[in-house]
Structure 1
Amino acid sequence: MGRGDLTNAQWERLKPLLPPVSTKGRRPRDRRQVFDGIWWRVRTGSPWRDVPERYGPWETLHSVFRRWQIGGTWSRILKRLHVKADADGTIEWEVSVDSTVCRAHQHAAGARKRRSGDTDSSDGDSLATEPDDHALGRSRGGLTTKLHLAVAASMQVLAVVVTAGQRADGPLFTEVMDRIRVARIGGGHPRTRPDHVIADRAYSSRKNRAYLRTRHIPHTIPEKRDQTGHRLRRGSAGGRPPTFDRERYKRRHKIECRIGLLKHARGVATRYDKLAVRYEATIQLTLIRQSL
C-alpha cells in the first residue's frame, strides 16, 4: 500500500458504493488499484501519463475517471455518503456559504468553444452542462476558476458550484443553496433546508435575504456599510436592521478550514482539467476520498 492509498477499512466503506461490475468483455482491473491510481493523480496534480505503473496503465485510469464522470458515478457516490452521514446524525445543519479562487494551469486552457448540439466525439460525452467559458476567467493573476461552496458545521461539503474566477459571490448564493439536497433512507422528500445559514458581507443583498425569508431559514449575514447608510437615510421606510449574532458568526471559520482541507489535493488547488465538468468530478472525487 503506497502513501495516500486506501486502507482496508476505507476500502470496505467505499466498495458497496461503486457501480456493479460488468460481466461482459474482458475482466476489469482491480477497482481498488484503479481508485488509488486516480486519487494519486488528483492528490499530486501530476499528468495522467506520470501515474506510477503500480496502479496500472494510465489510459485505464483516465478512461474510468472520464466514464464515471460522464455517467454521474462520482456524484452518486458522494450523495450516498451524504445520505449515510445524515442518517447517522453526523451532519450538523448549520451551513456556511463562501467561495475560493483556484489558479488554473496553462494546460487547463485551450478547450474548443461549445456549439449547439456538440458532443465530445471521443466518448459521446454530452457537453450540454459544460459552460461556454469552461468556468475559466482571466484577471491580473492569470486564469482562475472559483468554487462556491455550502459547508455544514460538521465539515461536509453539501454543495459546490464551479464558475469563472471573476464571478461575484452574491449572485451565486441562491444557486448554491438550491443545490443542497440530501436524500433520506426509506424515501420521502430530500432535505434541502438548513437550520441556519452563515455568510460574510459579500452575500448581503435584499434578494438573498428575501430568498432566505421565503424559505424560513434563519441567517447570520453582516450588513454592508453602504446598505446600512441607505437604510438609515430612508428612515422608517428603510425597515428594521437585520439581526446579527456576532458569536454565531465566529463559527464561519469552519468553511475556511474546509476549503483549506479541500485544497490539500493539488489537482483541486490548481486546475489542470480543460473542461469544467471534469474539474467538478475532480472535486467530487476529493470529497469522496476525504469522507472515507
Structure 2
Amino acid sequence: MPVGSNPACPKGANSRAFSTIDVVGLRKAFPNAIMSIKDIRCDGKSIRFDANKFFYGDIEDNGNFRIELFSIWGKGSDNGMVTSPFSPIVGDKDDNFNFTSTLEFDYVIVTEPKFTPTWITINPDWGGDWSYTQGESFNIVVNENSKLAIEHPSFDITLENPAVDYSAGSIMTFAQVDNLYKYFPQTHATLDALYLDGNLVTGYDASKIIDAQDGDSYRLELWNTYGATANDCAFGNPVVISGMNAITELGFSKSMRAQFTFHSLFSTIEW
C-alpha cells in the first residue's frame, strides 16, 4: 500500500549537524516498507539534493524507518565529517541545507515495494499484448550499506510464437513497470541485448533508447511512434504501414527476446 504525504516541519534555524526523518513503527508494522524523499523545500523554495547520499532503513533496530539526511554521528560520518547530499561539501555542516521559517518534505512510503516489468510491442494494425510478462519481479530493498537498491535488477524476457503478426514491424516497443515512476521518477535502465527470431540485433544507437514516462508508469523506450523516440529511433527510420509510422527493423516472425537491467533509482548530481 503506497502512501504519499507533504508534511511541514516545525520552525528551525540554520544548517544542522544532525537531520533525520523517522516514521515511528513503520518497519515493525510493515517489515518490507521503504520510504524516499521526492522534494525538500527550505522556506518554501525547493533545494537540490542527491538522494543516493542519504541513508535508509531501520538504522537503530527499533522498528522505525529512518532517512538520514545529514548526521555527524550517523551512517555517513567519517570521524564527524559527512559527504553532503546538498552540495560538494565534505564537512560537519552544510549551509546549503538551512532554513529560517519552514522546512517541508514531499515523500512516499511503499509498504510492499514489488514491481513487475512487462514487455510490450505493438504491430501497425494495433495487434499485441499490453501485459506480457514471464512472471519475474523485482523488489526495492534496503541493502547492507543502508541504501535503497533494486534486488535482482536484470531481466530476460522472450515473446515466443505470438498470436499476432509482427513481421511488418513495430509502432511501439518498450519495457513498462506500472506505478514505478510515481515513486521513483529518476529510475534508469538500459537495454543489454535484443534478439529477433534468435538473431542478435547489432548496429543500433544505444543512446537513443531512453527512460520515459507514461502517467505513473516507467518505460524503457526502444521506440514509440507517440513517444520521445518518435523522431529519433535507435533502430531505423519509420515507414508508413497501415497508416502508422512503423520501424520495420523491429519486425519478427517467431520470437523477440529482450535483456535489460535497472541500474539506479536516483540520479547522481554533478555539482
TM bracket, shorter-chain basis: under 0.3
Q: Greater helix share, 1 or 2? A: 1
Ranked by relative contact order (alpha carbons within 8 Å, sequence separation 6 or more), the top structure is 1
Larger radius of gyration, structure 1 or 2?
Answer: 2
